[in-house]
Amino acid sequence: MKGFAGRLSISGLVLLLCMVSLVSQLRQDGVIVHSHIDVNSLWTSSSSSGWRPSSAPRSFWPPPPKKSNGYLVVRCNGGLNQQRSAICNAVLAARIMNATLVLPELDTNSFWNDKSGFAGIYDVEHFIKSLRHDVKIVESLPYVSDKKKKKMKAFQIAPPRDGPPSWYETEALAKMKQHGAIYLTPFSHRLAEEVPNAEYQRLRCRVNFHALRFKPDVMQLSNQIVSRLRAEGHFMSIHLRFEMDMLAFAGCLAIFKPEEQEILRKYREQNFAKKRLVYNERRLIGKCPLTPEEVGLILQAMGFDNSTRLYLAAGDIFGGERFMQPLREMYPHLENRTTVAAPEELEAVQAEGRGLLGPAVDYMVCLLSDIFMPTYDGPSNFANNLLGHRLYYGFRTSIQPNRKALAPIFMARESGGGAAAANFEAMVRGVMSGGTFGRSHRRVNPESFYTNPWPECFCRKESDDPRERCPANTRMNATASEEEGSDGIKRVLSDDVE
Ligand SMILES: *[C@@H]1O[C@H](CO)[C@@H](O)[C@H](O)[C@H]1NC(C)=O
Ligand SMILES: *[C@@H]1O[C@H](CO)[C@@H](O)[C@H](O)[C@H]1NC(C)=O
Ligand SMILES: *[C@@H]1O[C@H](CO)[C@@H](O)[C@H](O)[C@H]1NC(C)=O
Ligand SMILES: *[C@@H]1O[C@H](CO)[C@@H](O)[C@H](O)[C@H]1NC(C)=O
């Protein structure tokens, strides 16, 4: 009886929430109906307003000291992009400690099934070379004695979550000096993202946007996929995060069949903390990833016609074709890496135990696409880093649907409400027209530094504020990132550090 009453009051609450937001939407109807999105302008980059990406130091930045304080070893965990931000943090930590960085260890857990390590994904030589003005990097710990072939042993520490630079300068440094080397594990989100020193933030950008370059085979395949897509005109990439792990994490179960729900529930139990999760409640606070159908409805409302080509960056779509069908009917030109690249081309980069390389190819295609749209953005994931990277790579258009604002509109449509259904497109367009679409905007908490490195990693030639002004002798600048490299690959990650 109690449970029933509870459920009743929850559904009452949900209904109330829907109505409140519906009323507030309707009241703006005059605005909503007339809101217009110029789709053609979205295919080109946003205006830079004189800003350009720049990660070069703007104040005295000495080279790493000849004598280091010891070796820093870290073990990054998580998916491709969580590890990517961990690598940026590791370089910064080594700089703060005047330490020699050992090439970061990457996660080899079973979910990603990846055993390739740093050298299997990234270009090691380029990484070490392009950071040589910042941090000394070695491939492994040195041998303590030549005869026994015994490697130095690093003292293991679990670093605090979002630790401040002062933790690295004191506690970690003391242990490093005592033992010669420290091993920080696990290492993701272990150094605070917001640090007041803008030079530290620029070092992170040098790592993320210049030093971390995928291996040539990944770059080449990505470039081929992009050229084939471009040969037929512009295209939009969509990070369709409608995969089992995401849905289980988000707890958005009610749209699935009972047997599918069981799979998600089981995965959730095994991998995530217990939590009471109700689909519509989750949806109303923006915690459910968009369904493929919702993606189509948003694009339609924005005015993209059915000839628009969509590149889907995604793993296995949970629930399969049943969920893809509505999107395919709205947008028949759906591509992904297996439809654009030949099987033998993919095989080369996706061999057994190289599970992160598929996501790496998708990352590059999304980076280079004309428009990018994520369907979910959790902390330090694929979508978040791409939003930041696309901003850096010339203010490229990104469409970020506000799921919280859209949920009540979708729910009203599903319940078939007359006025709401009739105004559906106008209402969706009203929400979508509020986006920044890749324009520069000041980062506001809780937006992550990796999602929006503005203003630290951007500068202006003419500015009254000396903090904004471009440095005189730019070691790295935006123009270089657009050059065509000798390998035929667009120099997304420029290497003009001299
Ligand atoms: C690192 O070296 C610089 C000089 O290059 C020095 O000013 C700084 O105090 C050193 N920091 C640590 C933690 O040793
Ligand atoms: C695209 O939409 C138009 C009508 O707007 C329709 O005539 C055409 O058949 C559609 N094309 C595809 C491939 O669905
Ligand atoms: C790409 O799309 C095809 C069908 O459109 C599908 O069978 C395949 O699994 C997809 N591949 C990936 C990697 O998502
Ligand atoms: C950076 O850009 C400026 C012009 O904007 C150019 O003069 C300079 O040579 C560039 N520097 C490098 C290292 O490419």
- Predicted pLDDT of residue 30: 41
Pocket of ligand 3 from Cβ distances under 6 Å: 314, 336-339
Q: Is 479 in the pocket of ligand 4 (CB under 6 A)?
A: yes
CA of 103 to the centre of ligand 2 (A): 52
* Amino acid, single-letter form, for residue 186: P
Alpha carbons 109 and 301: distance in angstroms, whole number: 41
Give the DSSP letter string of 391-423. HHTT--EE----HHHHHHHHHHHHTT-HHHHHT
Best of 58, 479, 496 to mutate for ligand 4, by most ligand atoms within 8 A of CB?
479
pLDDT digits (tens, 9 = 90+) for 253-286: 999 999 999 999 999 999 888 888 888 899 999 9
SS3 content of the chain, % helix, strand, coil (to 5): 45, 10, 45
Strands 143-145 and 150-151 come out as antiparallel
In a 10 Å sphere around its CB, with 0-12 CB exposed, 13-18 middle and 19+ buried, how is residue 434 labelled? Answer: exposed
pLDDT digits (tens, 9 = 90+) for 284-320: 999 999 999 999 999 999 999 999 999 999 878 999 9
The answer to whether 78 touches 271, Cβ cutoff 8 Å, is: no
Sequence-ordered strand ranges (E) for 218-266: 236-239
Question: Residue 307: nearest ligand to its CA?
Answer: 2
Residue 23's pLDDT band (cuts 50, 70, 90): very low
Best of 244, 327, 336, 363 to mutate for ligand 3, by most ligand atoms within 8 A of CB?
336
Q: Is 460 in the pocket of ligand 4 (CB under 6 A)?
A: no
φ, ψ dihedrals at 338, nearest 5°: -80, -20
- Predicted pLDDT of residue 349: 76
pLDDT average, residue stretch 357-362: 88
- Predicted pLDDT of residue 236: 98
Alpha carbons 421 and 413: distance in angstroms, whole number: 5
Best of 300, 304, 305, 306 to mutate for ligand 2, by most ligand atoms within 8 A of CB?
306
CA of 305 to the centre of ligand 2 (A): 8
CA of 435 to the centre of ligand 2 (A): 28
- CA-65 nearest atom, ligand 1: 5
CA of 478 to the centre of ligand 4 (A): 8
Domains in the chain: boundaries: 39-50+217-481, 71-213
- Predicted pLDDT of residue 144: 85
Residue 114's pLDDT band (cuts 50, 70, 90): low
Alpha carbons 267 and 255: distance in angstroms, whole number: 17
Question: Residue 300: nearest ligand to its CA?
Answer: 2
Question: Residue 498: nearest ligand to its CA?
Answer: 4
CA of 51 to the centre of ligand 4 (A): 14
The answer to which of 73-82, 453-462, 470-479 has the lowest mean pLDDT is 470-479
- Predicted pLDDT of residue 472: 72
Give the DSSP letter string of 274-305. -----HHHHHHTT-SPPPHHHHHHHHHHHT--
Q: Is 69 in the pocket of ligand 1 (CB under 6 A)?
A: yes
Query: What is the reported pTM?
Result: 0.85
3-state secondary structure 171-202: HHHHHHHHHCEEEEEEECCCECCCCCCHHHHH
Angle value at C-alpha 379, between 129 and 441, nearest 5 degrees = 80
If you average pLDDT over every residue of the chain, what do you get?
A: 85
| Bridge partner residues of 181 (DSSP) | 71
Of all protein residues, whose CA lies closest to atom 2 belonging to ligand 2? 306
pLDDT digits (tens, 9 = 90+) for 403-456: 999 999 999 999 886 666 779 999 999 999 988 888 888 898 888 999 999 999
Residue 11's pLDDT band (cuts 50, 70, 90): low
CA of 138 to the centre of ligand 1 (A): 20
CB contact set of 274 (below 8 Å; sequence gap of 6+) = none
Name the more confident of 282 and 32. 282
Residue matched to tokens 């080594």: 94
Pocket of ligand 2 from Cβ distances under 6 Å: 306, 332
Alpha-helix runs per DSSP H in 98-172: 117-121, 124-130, 165-167
Q: Is 495 in the pocket of ligand 4 (CB under 6 A)?
A: no
Name the more confident of 81 and 294. 294
Q: Is 416 in the pocket of ligand 1 (CB under 6 A)?
A: no
Is residue 161's pLDDT more than 80?
A: yes
Is residue 133's pLDDT more than 80?
A: yes
CA of 66 to the centre of ligand 1 (A): 11
The answer to whether 202 touches 449, Cβ cutoff 8 Å, is: no
CA of 439 to the centre of ligand 1 (A): 37
Q: What is the DSSP letter of 306?
A: T
Is residue 29's pLDDT more than 50?
A: no
CA of 306 to the centre of ligand 2 (A): 6
Of all protein residues, whose CA lies closest to atom 13 belonging to ligand 4? 475
Q: Is 380 helix (H, G, I), strand (E, B) or coil?
A: coil
